[in-house]
Amino acid sequence: YSGSWSHGFEVLGVYTWPSGNTYQGTWAQGKRHGIGMESKGKWVYKGEWTHGFKGRYGVRECTGNGAKYEGTWSNGLQDGYGTETYSDGG
């Protein structure tokens, strides 16, 4: 982890896991919370986080083939309104 701390918890910075996955953004009570970006393999998520989960609104996109979901999330899952584009453009 590289960034700022407050009372022993991460606040704003970049965390890199041994696998190479990264999260860059804000934290609260040791969990991703607020606005941030997660890079996990070929997938990138940019948007809101709530208590460690993808939350409310965000965009998840595959850097290799253009597959994408843009919309609402709940507890880390696509939920509610959104637009999904498949790798073939459909």
pLDDT at 21: 98
Q: How far apart are the C-alpha atoms of 79 and 14, rounded to whole Å? A: 27
Amino acid 31: pLDDT: 95
Q: What is the pLDDT along the chain (90 residues), one digit of tens a residue?
A: 999 999 889 999 999 999 999 999 999 999 999 999 999 999 999 999 999 999 999 999 999 898 999 999 999 999 999 999 998 876
Q: Give the pLDDT score at 49.
A: 97
How high is the pLDDT of residue 88? 87
Q: pTM for this structure?
A: 0.90
Instruction: Give the whole-angstrom CA distance, residue 38 versus residue 41.
Output: 10
